[in-house]
Amino acid sequence: MIEVAPGVIRMQLPIWMPGLGHVNMYGLLDDRGLAVVDPGLPGPKSWRALKARLKTAGYGVKDIHTVIVTHSHPDHFGGAGRIKRESGAQIVTHKAFTTWSLEESNRRNRLPTEKEAEEAERMAAAAAQALDIGGEEIPTIADHIDDYEGDVLREDPTEAQQAGSVPWGGETPWGGSKHPLPPLARRLAIRALRRIFAPPRPTRRVVHGERVKLANRDWVSIHTPGHTIDHLCLFDPEHGLLISGDHVLPSITPHISGVGNGADALKSYIQTLDLVAALDGVRLGLPAHGHPFDDVPGRVEAIKHHHEERMELILAASTALGPATVQDLAHEIFPKRHWGVMAESETFAHLEHMVIEGKAERWEDHGRLLYRAA
Ligand SMILES: [Zn+2]
Ligand SMILES: [Zn+2]
């Protein structure tokens, strides 16, 4: 537990999925108790750590009056539903918050016992391992992008849309992906994940520019689609604090999925990177993974540079190969240990951006998309 700014503490929670190690839960303290940002994965392991961290800081779950969820990935929303049940806390998200799993409140069944929750967590961890996905790599549902106007989702996604928005769940939009599991095993693994990843129902959905008073200061909500379509950052203009979620991370570049993330996810991402870099007086980034960092514009430049470089690599590979599939190109730009549906999904996001920008051409051939540098 570290105080990163007056009235703002950082608490690390473990992640039991492959990949990331931990997520930062921030506590925003005030006279009523505290608000927490991104209370970790669902399941008993993370919950025990959450209670222990709060205790060290001198708080209990009942002191939490607000939960802010930066976006619809399970390592961020996981603990929110249980906090709401135990303390009556408000849950604040961006207006577009929604995921590929059914909401907790849509489930008629009673809550699981502690033992059942342990079992569900164990099964989900095994499923994540088998599907070769990490906590950062679970996409949001937003393929019904036609319903997405500004920042309003008109209707809740159907189950079929939800299934279709999971790139490791079925046929991918670019065709020809090799999934790590055969279809039946994949369905079972996804069912195990769905059970534990049911998101909570937000009590307050904010839009870009709305004010949220927490930790005795006014935060401005900044809608930052790109990593997910519902990503929300919070900015404190007085102290220059930016709660950056997974939008800007200090040591890794956030995953940009081409599935269920809008027509041009990369463009949304780059534009909203520029948006946060230009915030007047931004002084300290408080990321969801890794350490707080002080040069937000510098980090934004480095991430943008990474994507520029990746597009140059794709263009060079495409020129060398001629007409090529998403798999061909993903294999050119990712090291072999990263090959798979997630690498393809990110390559697809880059290729679609290049098509929209006129830098590449796309056509369909026998159920697969082919691309060529324009
Ligand atoms: Zn994350
Ligand atoms: Zn994320």
* β-sheet bridge partners, residue 368: 365
Strand partners, 58: none
| Shared domain check, 321 and 230 | no
Whole-structure pTM value: 0.89
- Is 223 in the same domain as 355? no
- The alpha carbon of 24 and the centre of ligand 1 are apart by a number of angstroms equal to 9
Q: Which ligand is nearest to the CA of 287?
A: 1
Same domain, 170 and 98: yes
Ligand 1 center from residue 123 Cα (angstroms): 21
Q: What is the CA(325)–ligand 1 centre distance, in A?
A: 29
Tell me: do 236 and 265 sit in the same domain. yes
Rounded distance between C-alpha atoms, residue 112 and residue 99, angstroms: 21
Residues 290 and 307 in one domain: no
Distance CA 369, CA 175 (A): 7
175 and 71: one domain?
yes
Domain count, the chain: 2
Nearest ligand to the C-alpha atom of residue 261: 2
Residues 275 and 327 in one domain: no
Tell me the pLDDT of the chain (374 aa) as tens digits: 789 999 999 999 988 776 667 899 999 999 999 999 999 998 899 999 999 999 999 999 999 999 999 998 888 999 999 999 999 999 999 988 877 666 665 555 567 778 877 887 888 788 777 776 654 444 444 333 333 333 334 445 555 555 556 666 667 889 888 777 887 887 777 777 777 777 888 899 998 889 999 988 999 999 998 898 889 999 999 999 999 999 999 988 888 988 877 788 899 999 999 999 999 999 999 999 999 999 999 999 999 999 999 999 999 999 999 999 999 999 998 888 888 888 898 999 999 999 999 999 999 999 899 999 99
Q: Which of 270, 295, 320 is the last residue of a domain?
A: 295
Task: Say whether 355 sits in a helix, a strand or coil.
Answer: helix
Q: Which residues surround ligand 2, an ion (CB under 5 A)?
A: 73, 246
340 token code pair = 């798979």
Q: Give CA–CA dist 75/40, Å, rounded.
A: 5
* Of 340, 332, 356, 146, nearest in space to 266 by CA: 356
Verify that 157 and 273 share a domain, yes or no: yes
Phi and psi angles of residue 338, each rounded to the nearest 5 degrees, phi first:
-100, 0
Specify the residue for token string 């294999």: 331
Range 82-90 contact pairs with CB under 8 angstroms and sequence separation of 24 or more:
82/42, 82/47, 83/36, 83/39, 84/200, 84/203, 85/111, 86/61, 86/62, 87/61, 87/62, 87/63, 89/64, 89/65, 90/65, 90/66, 90/203, 90/204
In 3-state terms the chain splits into helix, strand, coil percentages (rounded to 5) of 40, 20, 40
Domain ranges, residue 99: 1-295
Check whether residue 93 and residue 194 sit in a common domain: yes
Q: Report the CATH number at residue 36.
A: 3.60.15.10
Residue 192 shares a structural domain with residue 226: yes
Indicate whether 325 and 280 sit together in one domain. Answer: no
CB 252 within 8 A of CB 290: yes
Centroid of ligand 2 to alpha carbon of 197 (angstroms)? 14
Q: Are residues 118 and 8 in the same domain?
A: yes
Distance 138 CA to ligand 1 centre (A): 9
